[in-house]
Structure 1
Amino acid sequence: MSLFNIAGCSTAPYGSKHSYLTQIIEPQNQNTVFHWVDVLLQQTRDQRIVPPRAAYNFAMPMVAGFLAANAILKDYQEPFGVGEGPKDADPEVAYGVAFSIAAAEVFQQPFLREKKAFLDGFPDSVSKTSGIDWGKKVGRHVVKMRNNDGAEPSEVNYYLGRYKRRQDSLKWSPTGTFYSADPGPAFGSFDRGLFPGHGQIKPWSMRSGSQFRATEFYDPASPEFADEFDTIRRLGAADSSIRTADQSEIALFWEDGPWGVTPPGHFIYIAMQVLQQQATTFNELARSLALIGMTQCDASIAAWDTKYFFDVIRPESAIRQRAEKFRNPDPRVKRQSHWKSYIPTPPFPAYTSGHSTFGAAGAEMIALLQDTDRVSITGRSPDVVIWPQLEGVTRHWRSLSDIAEENGMSRLYGGVHWELDHTQAMAAGRGIAKQAFNDFFQRRV
């Protein structure tokens, strides 16, 4: 595996405070795969990409890089019709070139300096030239393969008739009023719903965007809804008297708002931290990140399909504005016009939780790749610019499933999700990961 010189990259190199690898990867474990994934994470942060689009952007480059390398090394089966690569091609060179071409497509950023700095780390040879040519071919193949996948028209905040709006008291509406936290972020109110068509993008591993769609949400007049309403009203309020200090820290730790790697990026970050300890080949690592990238993208599609299919109101709107319209006989379902969630309420429907879907898919896939859920790990927040309270904060987990559960529950502690949002999303995320692991990139025999 090459130890290439990346000092010329416009995206900051390993060892820079701007690189996420510095936070989690030991110098001896730095490699081509981690380098290029770090480029994606930094670009997501620098362009302030929102979570569902970030998840979409992660998949194509990771898959393209793996397909280019694997076609040369021939370790795993693949269903995308790439074919066999040239025997004399350098697989790492091919990986980086294919990766950069796909990344340029999804981020609309050429990455010319990043690619040049990467290639300068390899001595000129027939193998390098062949790897460049093959990487270009595979990168373009993957970009063409994803043409007309529904992503482009879904990158607007208009419904365009894709999902029918519900008309009862649970109908989602933009949350107001103005949100701000000191210290922390400030957001305008009454934004349009984010990407109503994202759930109809063509998935990578699912049969359709609705394959893992959740079951129907609670009747707003039911005892179950009354329990949820009261729980979040008390637990998720900005001034909650029952939320513990640890739960408050968890809510901020996993918030992963703008100006960072986003929730799907956070689990890719965790995956790199865990996978560096695994004795693995270059191609095994490329496959692992490709599977994680694919399933994070599909998690976004599944979550956004359920969100806009059911169109369910957020707790803050329900508690502040609409409690009496639910006609729930439970006296706990009452309006509190000054109630405010502890963390910002996102501008799109509640049901189900994107955070929980991303977390369950990511943790389950890492566990399947590791062949164990029992991974003891200490982690920090990748980005603290929004919540300076997290500076120096680390959290410790004894299993990957604990990580996913804490991530999902953070949204309840923050007051932005119902508990059913979390439990249904966790089931979907785990299902997405299991199916992809069993159906894609099996070892050749």
Structure 2
Amino acid sequence: MRQVLIFILAAVTCFGCTRPTQEQPPFSSEAISQVTATMTDLMVNDVTNPPLAARFFAYTCLAGYQVVAQHDSTLQPMHGVLNGFPEIEKPPVTAYSYQVSALLAMIETAKKLQPSGALMDAYERRFLDSCRTSGMDAEVVNNSLAYAQSISGQVLAYAKADKYNRISNYPRYTPKEEEGSWFPTPPGFFAPVEPYFNTIRPFTLDSSAQFKPAPPVAFSTDKQSDFYKLLLQVYEQGRNLSEEHHRIAAFWDCNPFALQDNGHLMTGMKKISPGAHWIGITGIACKQANKSFAEAMQINTLVAVALVDGFISCWDEKFRSNRIRPETAIRKYVDPTWEPLLQTPPFPEYLSGHSTVSAASAVILTHFFGDNFHYTDTVEERYGLEARQFSSFHQAAQEAAISRLYGGIHYQDAIDNGLEQGLQVGAWVLHKVEKVPNAEKVAQR
């Protein structure tokens, strides 16, 4: 907790401001990334599950986006675009900085959504102080905050209506005692994460099952069956991992539930979620391409929206097919001593969530940066992992997907069909929000 707070207090130095001026300091894309990075640190602290983390990013980015859209005609308001999104009223405030308001709207929204959001109060105070010391008039600062709070309140009302708050009232999910079904895995034996996530309102999808994938390969203990072949593929892969495969699996692990056994005590390992990793990649790309503040806000928002709709689609299938994890099946039917390289996340196997949201994110990022965008992914350096280089976002998504096989936590059909579902979700988001030609056809193929 103390380390997170120190990071929050130290991160704000004019918050991405490129030069001081009294009325309108120009902010770079890095200012947005500083907010999302702080959110990520709180998520690590709170052990926020992957679907919920994506939800936090989406509403936070939407708050900032709506402020910018009210001042930049290149960005369309989301009313009539996202499911149920209201007309956001522009507050009757004068003498303010809309960029400061956009960042504050993000902070105000994250404060209310995240369990440890109160820690962002100190971050917000430092940001406001940095605006004042950079030369911005106190009235402009105060009015910018008032503007942000008005927008954030309206977006939070929209968030409250997505039905996520009803999930706690649903019956506790009980694992099925059927052969081939998912069951909690060691070392934590956690209950399944977000079994009702498919009941919340999607941002662009017609329904959680709009891109329902092909059924998984049917479970079977017959050694000649397709399922048993998939099972042995995971088993043999895990026994013959190269150093590079080790690095790939670790880099894309992104399991906030991972535990470390210290003998008498199990402690949580500090890891980010898949969505946080892709939001981090988004920030890297925006900075490298020198995207404007408005462009970066748009790109971050669309990636976050695609993440949520990707998780909704994937989780809809996970708890429909409810398939057994390789760790459970291999120990029961092949080798009782086998352990996967990565700890198995606490939810059913099919589809691969990381494959789905990685492909969806890659579609959005490729739309804005092109299909031959070379970049260095440094997101995991803060967690002790070496940076990796990629020549495209789809290459990164493919590597993220296959990392699940190397890690021993997914079968190949869950990876392949997860990638396909993610491509469809990403294309659908572009069709709905950006009106991209042919994107609908890609999504419906």
**What TM-score comes out, normalization by structure 2 length?**
0.80
* Stretch moving more, 372-381 or 118-127: 118-127
**Residue of structure 1 in register with 2:265 after alignment:** none
Identity %: 23
Cα 1:382–1:127 change in 2 (3 A) is same
What is the distance in 1 between the residues matched to 2:309 and 2:48? 17
Aligned amino acid, residue 107 of structure 2: S
Distance in 1, matches of 2:398 and 2:125, equals 41
2:320 is aligned to 309
**Match of residue 226 from structure 2:** 224
- 1:399-433 CA distances to partner (integer Å, 9 max, x unpaired)? 11110000110010011001111111111112222
Give the alignment partner of residue 397 of structure 2, picking from 404, 420, 431.
Answer: 404
Alignment-derived partner of residue 331 in structure 1: none
Mapped pair 1:169 → 2:179: yes
Q: Does the aligned pair in 2 maintain the 1:303–1:357 contact within 8 Å?
A: yes
Distance verdict in 2 for CA 1:311–1:404, change over 3 Å: same
Establish whether residue 101 from structure 1 lines up as the match of residue 108 from structure 2.
yes
User: How big is the shift at 1:191?
Assistant: 2.1
Correspondence list, 1:320-359, <5 A: 320-321=331-332, 323=333, 335-359=334-358
Residue aligned with 1:121, SS:
helix
Q: Does 1:116 align with 2:125?
A: yes
- Asked if the contact 2:12–2:123 (Cα under 8 Å) also holds between the matched residues in 1, the reply is no
Cα distance between partner residues in 2 of 1:310 and 1:138:
40
> Cα distance, 1:34 vs. partner?
2.1
String of CA shifts for 1:207-241, please: whole Å, max 9, x gaps. Answer: 222222322111224732232111111113xxx1x
Displacement of 1:384: 5.9
User: Which whole-Å CA distance do the structure 2 matches of 1:31 and 1:395 have between them?
Assistant: 20
Aligned to 1:82: 88
The answer for the alignment partner of 2:248 in structure 1 is 250
Instruction: Give 3-state SS (helix, strand or coil) of 2:288's partner.
Output: coil
Q: 1:427 to 1:128 in 2, by over 3 A?
A: same
Aligned to 2:306: 295
Aligned residue in 1 for 2:420: 427
Measure the CA separation in 2 of the matches of 1:442 and 1:43. Answer: 34
Cα 1:85/1:74, change in 2 over 3 Å? farther
Indicate yes or no: 2:147 matched with 1:134.
yes
More helix, by proportion: 2
Could you tell me whether the CA contact under 8 Å between 2:181 and 2:324 is conserved in 1? Answer: yes
Aligned to 2:193: 194
**For 1:171, what is the secondary structure of its paired residue?**
coil
Aligned AA (1:421)? A
Q: The residue matched to 1:378 in structure 2 has which SS?
A: strand
Q: 1:159 touches 1:197 (CA, 8 Å); kept in 2? A: no
Shift of 1:133: 2.4
TM-score, normalised on structure 1? 0.80
Q: What is the CA distance between 1:175 and its match in structure 2?
A: 2.1
Count of aligned pairs: 390
Residue in structure 1 matched with residue 271 of structure 2 by the alignment:
260
Deviation per CA, 1:297-320: give whole Å up to 9, x if none.
222222211111110100111111
Residue 82 of structure 2 corresponds to which residue in structure 1?
none
Are the equivalent residues in 2 in contact too, given 1:166–1:310 (CA < 8 A)? no
Distance across 1 between alignment mates of 2:48 and 2:10: 18
Q: Which amino acid is the alignment partner of residue 151 of structure 1?
A: Y
Q: Tell me which amino acid in the other structure corresponds to 1:140.
A: G
Name the counterpart of 2:34.
35
Amino acid at match of 1:228: L
Alignment partners' CA distance in 2, 1:9 and 1:382: 16
Equivalent position of 1:269 in the other structure: 280
Answer yes or no: is the 8 Å Cα contact 1:59–1:297 preserved in 2.
yes
Cα distance per residue 1:219-268 (max 9 Å; x no partner): 224732232111111113xxx1x322211111111112222321111111
Letter in 1 for 2:362: A
SS of residue in 2 equivalent to 1:430: helix
Query: Matched residues in 1 for 2:139 and 2:430: separation?
Result: 35
Q: Distance in 2 between matches of 1:38 and 1:384?
A: 11
Paired residue type of 2:184: P
Of the candidates 137, 143, 165, which is equivalent to residue 152 of structure 1?
165
